[in-house]
Structure 1
């Protein structure tokens, strides 16, 4: 569709439907427009993530201008004088003005929309404000209703049946009245409205016919009889479906039950990196956002924002096996569980504990998502001490004998490897650093550089470089990591006045 009164030399606005989530369901026309646009805009909440952008990502170019239109509120309350609606209306006006600046400058703007742009979508608010001033085109997309019908494997309506699409925000009694009077129905906008929608289906006598479909066509899609769904596990991107009564109990219904039988939870072990959100990968952030339950050591969970849809399960740092079994049991009940670790979960962290327990039964899928390690973080602060061969070793004797640690220290020191030393000290382990220093001095020069990194990336960050002979236990605590240089590791003055530590990639022969 197009608006009239087109002004020459102005840009064109395109409302581009991306479909329900699978990037392969983006139309050829939508992909072409996304690739060629000068400006790509998308709505998102204040956390900055955008489902629309993630769907369109395969078609984006690095040189494009991206405009994030960040909602001031989503479902929470606001102190705006006009209330929630006033805050949203003001936001739409500002967003339209931002896009108009690009259009006035002659730039084409593609505004991304999940599903179809004019089907309960945010694009319509921009279209109403801009289509009278600029040329505007809408590219339709596959709706969530069509996607849900497809993954359920059941027709929406057949012959003379009537399909009704309803918002879950209707009052339960109004919704029940509509559900009684229609053949088939799709109820959108669940999330916080789920309890009311379930009540309406029950009051209409149709709860046993209803299906729940979440994130249809994506890797995280979920299909269940709606009566069995835990209200606390329901995100906004889900819907209730009453498919064609003509086909109820037939082969389509059986296929849907088979699909549901295959659905199960999973455990994702996620590395948060060494400190704040900026050290966490987008892949890890996406997994955390999709989880129903978050499991981990208390201080690590405290780094994550509270989400009313999610449950946090904090525990002590010394119960790794118990924590792993708890997470796996949640997944057996159908939950999507994220087990969090600081740094990388595969380096002295939860990945091995979860996989060890999971291997006993082999009934829960486990994925491991990498994170930036503490060793990498500390090394980056001083240069490149890990530029050649290095090893990673823990001084904790809680899970292995001290004699084994000493043997390994001697072996790696004799092999002239740079050593990243994890867990050098704790409240109860106060002598190991001095003992390790003495072992290393059997093979290393007293002048060997040692980097002491503490709370790197955090508010109390400190990084010092000392001689191996001067390494003092009192300078090291449980929040530290040590990098012990090899015979080739060098210290050089940096242009900013600070020393740079690096290990050359060429080894002397």
Structure 2
């Protein structure tokens, strides 16, 4: 029988956010670990998380290279090489644990690897161990609710562009902009023009020892600087900051809370 390919979610950086289910898998001595790296010179962030957790790797473990590119052909070749690396273990009945920062089902390489493996061998089982997303951990880090009551939320890769993000703003209470590094200066300009800085938070490498957080006008300090690929922006709609959403939901004649308007 073939082994199972596991997507092991590790959370975004803090080893304390590794779930008990993921931890139990990582303590196995009979499984193989594989983990993504962007290049041979760049260490695997996922592997760094488990090392900081004090978990010892099994005898067999290796990194898989996934280049930072939008070139479909290059990515397909990388996924194929990765699948061909893990298939011999799986066909020998070994379970393979693919270590993933954040959650394995959310903007993760694991989905591409799993589909490629299944295309090559439909008999291989796949299982995902769910984990903490970077954006929920980031909201906790800056003490901002991700969503309340009937809030609407949009999670968007910033690569879609500022104009696309701007069109989403009227329809959502919270925007989570992922992978903001290439467009950060442009996004900062947009936040200024739309008077959104007061409800915005930039979080880099959330949960890691070198985590950085900038809120409100502090975000302006980032203009022209280099930031990590593992960065995101949380943008709250202005009506949330001013309390207009709460006022609109009150029943007529009901008790009226005292709301302080932001300056």
TM-score by length of structure 1 reads: 0.43
d(CA) in 1 for partners of 2:237, 2:189: 21
SS in 1 for 2:225: helix
User: Structure 1 residues 238, 104: CA separation in 2 closer, same or farther (over 3 Å shift)?
Assistant: same
Task: Return the match for 1:227 from 203, 220, 242.
Answer: 220
User: Structure 1 residues 133, 179: CA separation in 2 closer, same or farther (over 3 Å shift)?
Assistant: farther
Structure number with bigger Rg: 1
Aligned partner of 2:261 in structure 1 is none
Task: Return the match for 2:109 from 107, 114, 122.
Answer: 122
Q: Is residue 157–residue 177 contact of structure 2 (8 Å, CA) maintained in 1? A: yes
Aligned partner of 1:160 in structure 2 is 150
User: Structure 1 residues 25, 55: CA separation in 2 closer, same or farther (over 3 Å shift)?
Assistant: same
Task: Return the match for 2:134 from 127, 139, 144.
Answer: 144
d(CA) in 2 for partners of 1:203, 1:99: 49
Aligned partner of 2:164 in structure 1 is 174
Match runs of 1:187-206 below 5 Å? 187-206=177-196
Please tell me whether residue 33 in structure 1 is matched to residue 25 in structure 2. yes
Q: Is residue 156–residue 244 contact of structure 1 (8 Å, CA) maintained in 2? A: no
* Residues 13-39 of structure 1: per-residue CA shift (max 9 Å, x gap): 110100010111101110111121521
d(CA) in 1 for partners of 2:233, 2:107: 15
d(CA) in 1 for partners of 2:62, 2:9: 17
Q: Is residue 175–residue 236 contact of structure 2 (8 Å, CA) maintained in 1? A: yes
1:85: Cα distance to partner?
A: 1.9
User: Structure 1 residues 202, 136: CA separation in 2 closer, same or farther (over 3 Å shift)?
Assistant: same
* Residues 102-138 of structure 1: per-residue CA shift (max 9 Å, x gap): 1011111000111000100111101222344311110
Specify every segment of 5 or more residues in structure 2 that has no aligned partner in the other structure, as ranges: 244-263
1:142: Cα distance to partner?
A: 0.3
Aligned partner of 1:85 in structure 2 is 72
TM-score by length of structure 2 reads: 0.81
Task: Return the match for 1:104 from 91, 94, 110.
Answer: 91
User: Structure 1 residues 244, 17: CA separation in 2 closer, same or farther (over 3 Å shift)?
Assistant: farther
User: Structure 1 residues 199, 145: CA separation in 2 closer, same or farther (over 3 Å shift)?
Assistant: same
Higher relative contact order (CA 8 A, sep 6+): 2
Q: Is residue 189–residue 239 contact of structure 1 (8 Å, CA) maintained in 2? A: yes
Task: Return the match for 2:9 from 13, 17, 21.
Answer: 17
SS in 1 for 2:71: helix
d(CA) in 2 for partners of 1:93, 1:207: 43
Q: Is residue 185–residue 223 contact of structure 2 (8 Å, CA) maintained in 1? A: no
Q: Is residue 196–residue 236 contact of structure 2 (8 Å, CA) maintained in 1? A: no
Q: State the number of aligned residues.
A: 234
d(CA) in 1 for partners of 2:85, 2:95: 13
Aligned partner of 2:47 in structure 1 is 53
Aligned partner of 1:42 in structure 2 is 35
